Amino acid sequence: MAGMPQVSVLMPVFNTASYLRAALESVFSQTFPDFEIIAIDDGSTDDSAEILHQAATTDDRLKPNCRSRKGLVQTRNELLQQANGELVAWMDSDDLAVPERLALQVMQMQADPELLCLGGACLLIDPDGLPIMSHAFPANHEDIVRAMEQEIAFYFPTVMMRREAALRVGGFREPFAIAEDFDLCLRLSESGRVANLPQTLLYYRQHLASTANAGRPKTYAYSALARQLARERRETGHDRLQRGETVRVQFDRTATRRQNANDAHARWAWWALGEGHLHTARKYALRTLKGAPLSIESWRLALCALRGH
């Protein structure tokens, strides 16, 4: 359709007012200009909705929709339905896209019409933007498919996909409260080719409220379910959800807020130490020590961070 953007950047938003302005600005600053941003605020109780409306008054490429809470799966499917671009780029509302992100991905998707889904590398950052570590997943389709048998193989906020392909395989599915993106990537990998760029496309923000840190037992359980359903599709051609059957997920009890904070801070400290980001490592080693002063592991981490190795 004439006048439609080539890329729709799709952003689910929920209670990320502290980071939302910077996330939007990182998209507005892209070197590739032919895009729209469709953002759905899923019932935030902070200032996220107001920030979206204010940003839309300064750049009409942003199309905000603020409504009551319906959950992430429904929000993602609404975003897919509302997108006008042939290509859709997923973006979380607490992350930062590098300026060349869309340009690099569009170039690769145009050069390879059979490519359905394309991610990239990330630099993990802390809530204040300090570097934690860089990470990249396998680049080619075969290696990604093998990797997904054991772990995720995309950072979903880096992913660009063909909208038609995502809709054709069924979009996002209940009952995935978490790992709904992994489930979709698995189905896309069965329908066509997928890949990752080696370049860093995103600064992937880690904070205690993020799913990656607050819901780890649930993430593991739902990811395991996604792999089970993928095995069913390979063996029988369909999975339980596609047959309309009920699926239940069991997971270990989630940690207390204090335990979660200690675990996350220790993880960030070790990761940062491994890449030589000593300021970050010492920052979170100290917080780990304050949170668990009687733990031998806390003292070992603090000593390693102080030494710098």
Tell me what percent of the residues of the chain surpass a pLDDT of 90.
Answer: 88
Backbone angles phi, psi at 84, to 5 degrees: -105, -15
Same domain, 210 and 295: no
Q: Does position 253 have pLDDT exceeding 80, yes or no? A: no
**What confidence tier does 66 reach under pLDDT thresholds 50, 70, 90?**
very high
Residues 158-204 pLDDT 10s? 999 999 999 999 999 999 989 999 999 999 999 999 999 999 999 99
Q: Does position 1 have pLDDT exceeding 50, yes or no? A: no
CATH classification of the domain holding 209: 3.90.550.10
**What confidence tier does 214 reach under pLDDT thresholds 50, 70, 90?**
low
Q: Which candidate, 207, 211, 234, 238, places its Cα nearest to that of 222? A: 211
Position 222 in a domain: yes
The confidence score (pLDDT) of residue 186 equals 98
The confidence score (pLDDT) of residue 213 equals 66
Q: Does position 212 have pLDDT exceeding 90, yes or no? A: no
Position 250 in a domain: no
> Average pLDDT, stretch 77-81?
98
Indicate the average pLDDT of the chain.
95
Position 114 in a domain: yes
The confidence score (pLDDT) of residue 3 equals 78
**What confidence tier does 249 reach under pLDDT thresholds 50, 70, 90?**
confident
Amino acid at 220: Y
Backbone angles phi, psi at 210, to 5 degrees: -70, 155
Range of the domain at 302: 257-307
Of residues 259 and 24, the one with the higher pLDDT is 24
Same domain, 208 and 300: no
The confidence score (pLDDT) of residue 250 equals 82
pTM beyond 0.85: yes
**What confidence tier does 137 reach under pLDDT thresholds 50, 70, 90?**
very high
* Pairing outcome for strands 131-135 and 115-125: antiparallel
Among 201, 236, 271, which residue terminates a domain? 236
Same domain, 269 and 230: no
Q: Are the C-beta atoms of 136 and 153 separated by less than 8 Å?
A: no
C-alpha Rg value of the chain to the nearest Å: 20
Structural domains counted in the chain = 2
The confidence score (pLDDT) of residue 75 equals 98
Position 86 in a domain: yes
Residues 283-299 pLDDT 10s? 999 999 999 999 999 99
Q: How far is CA 71 from CA 44, 76, 77, 127, 257, in A?
A: 11, 9, 10, 24, 22
Position 1 in a domain: no
Distance separating alpha carbons of residues 230 and 186, to the nearest angstrom:
7
**What confidence tier does 219 reach under pLDDT thresholds 50, 70, 90?**
confident
